[in-house]
């Protein structure tokens, strides 16, 4: 599967955190998803990753790939990037956690929750 991410050259600073192209991509994907879903009748939904990945809508696939790559590594959340997303209007919380750390995370958007990990 082709990745929507480019090499990570610093492009801007948000809440004191230097963001990279891939992190900007995650924020842009979330903003685009929000704009596409803000006026729908059902405004709360959750996309779980326990099914087939290719069954998810394409925009959610891109968000999940970006979140997996940018927000959790070896069970450890990247708190600087999570704070940057919070500054952009997206709250990130742990989903499932065990003794090794985060197994999944949840992106709380204004239109619902997207589960990744």
One-character DSSP codes across 2-51: --S-----EEEEETTEEEEHHHHHHHHHHHHHHHHHTTSS----EE-SSS
- The residues spanned by each domain of the chain are 10-116
Q: Is 114 helix (H, G, I), strand (E, B) or coil?
A: strand
Q: Residue 19: its pLDDT value, please?
A: 53
Q: What is the pTM of this model?
A: 0.71
Two structure tokens written together for 44 = 């709360």
Per-residue pLDDT averaged across 24-34, rounded? Answer: 83
Tell me the helix, strand and coil percentages in the chain, rounded to 5.
35, 30, 35
**Secondary structure, 3-state, 40-81:** CCCCCCEECCCCCHHHCCHHHHHHHHHHHHHHEECCEECHHH
Q: What is the pLDDT of residues 32-89, one digit of tens each?
A: 887 777 666 554 455 555 567 888 788 888 888 889 989 999 999 999 999 989 988 8
How far is 110 from 38, CA to CA, in rounded Å? Answer: 8
């Amino acid at each position: 599967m082709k990745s929507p991410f480019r090499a990570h050259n610093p492009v801007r600073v948000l809440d004191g955190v230097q963001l990279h192209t891939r992190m900007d991509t995650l924020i842009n994907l979330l903003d685009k998803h929000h704009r596409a879903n803000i006026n729908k009748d059902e405004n709360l939904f959750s996309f779980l990753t326990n099914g087939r990945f290719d069954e998810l809508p394409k925009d959610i696939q891109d968000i999940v790939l970006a979140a997996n790559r940018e927000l959790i590594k070896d069970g450890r959340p990247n708190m600087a990037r999570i704070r940057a997303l919070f500054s952009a209007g997206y709250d990130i919380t742990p989903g499932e956690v065990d003794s090794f750390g985060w197994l999944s995370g949840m992106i709380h958007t204004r239109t619902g929750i997207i589960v990744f990990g």
